Amino acid sequence: MQTLAPSIQTQTPRNLQHTTKRPPILTGQLLSPNLVFLFPPITHFNTVDTTYFTLSKTYFTMAPPKSKPGRSAIADVVAREYTIHMHKRVHGVSFKKRAPTAIKEIKAFAHKQMGTIDVRLDPQLNKEVWKQGIKGVPYRLRVRISRKRNDEEGAKEKLYSFVEAVAVKNPKGLLTTVVDA
Together in a domain, 128 and 163: yes
Mean pLDDT of 9-18: 54
| Domain assignment present for 55 | yes
| Domain assignment present for 40 | yes
Do 139 and 86 touch, CB atoms closer than 8 A?
A: yes
Q: Give the pLDDT band (50/70/90) at residue 66.
A: confident
Instruction: Reply yes or no on whether the pLDDT at 44 is more than 60.
Output: no
What is the share, in percent, of the chain residues with pLDDT greater than 90? 49
Q: Look up the domain containing 43 and give its range.
A: 8-59
Instruction: Reply yes or no on whether the pLDDT at 142 is more than 60.
Output: yes
| Domain assignment present for 160 | yes
| Domain assignment present for 73 | no
| Domain assignment present for 95 | yes
Averaging pLDDT over each range in 5-14, 50-59, 160-169, which range is the top one? 160-169
CATH of the domain at 123: 3.10.440.10
Together in a domain, 107 and 138: yes
Q: How far is CA 43 from CA 22, 24, 25, 27, 50, in A?
A: 12, 13, 13, 8, 16
Nearest in space to 86 (alpha carbons), one of 6, 7, 163, 181:
163
| Domain assignment present for 68 | no
Together in a domain, 128 and 158: yes
What is the share, in percent, of the chain residues with pLDDT greater than 70? 63
Mean pLDDT of 66-76: 67
Report pLDDT digits (tens) over 111-123: 999 999 999 999 9
Instruction: Reply yes or no on whether the pLDDT at 28 is more than 70.
Output: no
Q: In the β-sheet with 119-121, what is the strand arrangement from edge to edge?
A: 119-121, 159-165, 140-149, 78-85, 177-179
- CA–CA separation, 141 vs 130, rounded Å? 12
Domain count, the chain: 2
| Domain assignment present for 146 | yes
By the 10 Å C-beta count (0-12 exposed, 13-18 middle, 19+ buried), 29 is classed as: buried
Q: Give the pLDDT band (50/70/90) at residue 109.
A: very high
Do 52 and 83 touch, CB atoms closer than 8 A?
A: no
What was the pLDDT predicted at 32?
53
Averaging pLDDT over each range in 65-74, 87-96, 169-178, which range is the top one? 87-96
**Backbone φ/ψ region at 147: left (φ over 0), alpha (ψ -120 to 50), beta:** beta
Together in a domain, 90 and 164: yes
- CA–CA separation, 41 vs 104, rounded Å? 63
- CA–CA separation, 98 vs 41, rounded Å? 65
| Domain assignment present for 102 | yes
Together in a domain, 86 and 167: yes
Mean pLDDT of 156-177: 93
